[in-house]
Chains A and B, each alone.
Chain A
Amino acid sequence: MLNIGAIKEGFVLDHIKAGKAMTIYHDLRLDKLDCTVAIIKNAQSSKMGRKDIIKVECSIDYLDLDVLGFIDHNITVNVIKDEEIIEKRALKLPSQVVDVIKCHNPRCITSIEQGLHHIFVLTDEKTETYRCKYCEEAARKRD
């Protein structure tokens, strides 16, 4: 596999669905940070055929990865310290997600009011249902 060099401290996000790395790059607000980020597209995967990988060099307390649990919990999070994997972090469903998806209900206040955050709240863990904080419409999962 193409090697972008080892990371001293940071994260390797593996098993991202092929083609989704850039979306996740934005969801994690990596564009707002000045740390080194490597995005690998269409890597070979025995499990998935093709997959994307993101490597982030940053302090491991720095990045909030909760949103990944909402986006796709098949993503594997490897936590790297001193160039070694010290943890394979399991993704759990975040209690809420902010500005990742938009409410599609045309009767929702978010459709007309400026400056509102799009907030979705986990209302049912079993069915992984998220609802708009304002109108309670169920979220449509993004593909």
Chain B
Amino acid sequence: MALKHLMSPLDLSVEELETMMDLADDIRSHPEKYAHVCDGKRLATLFYEPSTRTRLSFEAAMMNLGGTVLGFSSADNSSAAKGESVADTIRVVSCYADIAAIRHPKEGAPLVASMKSLIPVINAGDGGHQHPTQTLTDLLTIRNLKGHFEGLTIGLCGDLKFGRTVHSLITALSRYHNIQFCLISPPELRVPSYVIEELKEKGIPYAEVVRLDEDTMKGLDILYMTRVQKERFFNEEDYIRMKDFYVLDREKLEQAPKDMYIMHPLPRVNEISVEVDDDPRAQYFFQAQCGVYIRSALIMTLLGLAKEN
């Protein structure tokens, strides 16, 4: 595969993505086969802002392959605090590690790193811009749950305005046939117009609704819940009004189809009640697991260790 770095989910063609997901599935079914493929290899996790979940997922993904990890988990205990540029940091890290995952609050920082790097760079989230491994995780999860993407109706619920995972997922899924979207959000948190324009241009059917009820959930294959992020709001009042707009509890779930799977990028706040966790349709912990498999597959691919089968 010609892929050198991963900056955006669209860096991968549909075929390349299929190959990578096949590898992720094989890692999941035969972990022992892959336990030493990265022996002697090092992953650097350069996290300029804390994101424990994503960092641990990357570290587990590397360790499952026999590799080791090093790095920092926030800017204040790193060279960045001393004013070192991203470009310089990656050049130095290129001497210590074989591959790097970078999270940075500024948009485009991982791209800057990839332009100066001697080793493959993975964008592990750059502000509100891209978070490609989350999108790959979501796709792998959906493929595992449904077996395919064609003809699926995907419901996306919550903060659709600021939630970048939602925008990336819509774009990534738009490449498959007969996909449909149901966009469920309060009027204040509707998807941005450029996303709607994109759907219209590609002729992809979508509906925008406010209520998460029986009628809305009818016909959904996946219900993807998102959290309303406090930092997106200018005042506390708006946030409080929005944060409990949707709460998926057992009672609500009774109105949902039997084969409608629930996903969530985690961490959750109130939008999915804990009592739902035991329902077989709740798949957000499986989703977190898929995140490790796809990151393992990605690391192998970028290191040139994924054999074409």
Q: How far is the CA of A109 from the CA of B112 in the complex (A)?
A: 8
Q: Are A107 and B87 in contact (CB under 8 A)?
A: no
Interface size in chain B (residues, C-beta < 8 A): 15
Interface size in chain A (residues, C-beta < 8 A): 17
A2 at the interface (CB under 8 A from B): no
Q: Which residues of A contact B126 (CB under 8 A)?
A: 109
B104 at the interface (CB under 8 A from A): yes
Q: How far is the CA of A115 from the CA of B126 in the complex (A)?
A: 19
Residue of A nearest to B130 (CB): A136
Within 8 A of B (CB), among A59-97: none
Residue of B nearest to A114 (CB): B85
Q: Are B85 and A111 in contact (CB under 8 A)?
A: no
Within 8 A of B (CB), among A114-135: 114-116, 132-135
Q: Are A113 and B129 in contact (CB under 8 A)?
A: no
Q: Which residues of A contact B112 (CB under 8 A)?
A: 109, 113, 116, 134
Interface residue from A105, A109, A133, A137 paired with B104 (Cβ < 8 Å): A109
Q: Are A108 and B107 in contact (CB under 8 A)?
A: yes
Q: Which residues of B contact A113 (CB under 8 A)?
A: 85-87, 106, 109, 112
Q: Which of B85, B107, B109, B112 has the most CB of A within 10 A?
A: B107
Residue of B nearest to A137 (CB): B107
Q: Which residues of A contact B163 (CB under 8 A)?
A: none
B111 at the interface (CB under 8 A from A): yes
Q: Are B127 and A134 in contact (CB under 8 A)?
A: no
B128 at the interface (CB under 8 A from A): yes
Chain A nearest CB from B261 CB (Å) reads 31
Q: How far is the CA of A112 from the CA of B75 in the complex (A)?
A: 14
Within 8 A of B (CB), among A26-55: none
Within 8 A of A (CB), among B97-132: 104-109, 111-112, 126-129
Q: Are A135 and B85 in contact (CB under 8 A)?
A: no
Residues of A within 8 A of B (CB): 105, 107-116, 132-137
* Between-chain CB contacts (< 8 Å), 15 pairs: A107-B127, A107-B129, A108-B107, A112-B106, A113-B85, A114-B85, A115-B85, A116-B87, A116-B112, A134-B109, A134-B111, A134-B112, A135-B108, A135-B127, A136-B129
Residues of B within 8 A of A (CB): 85-87, 104-109, 111-112, 126-129
Known pairs A109-B106, A137-B107; list 20 more (Cβ under 8 Å).
A105-B107, A107-B127, A107-B128, A108-B107, A108-B108, A109-B86, A109-B104, A109-B126, A110-B108, A113-B85, A113-B106, A113-B112, A114-B85, A116-B87, A132-B108, A133-B108, A134-B109, A135-B127, A136-B108, A136-B129
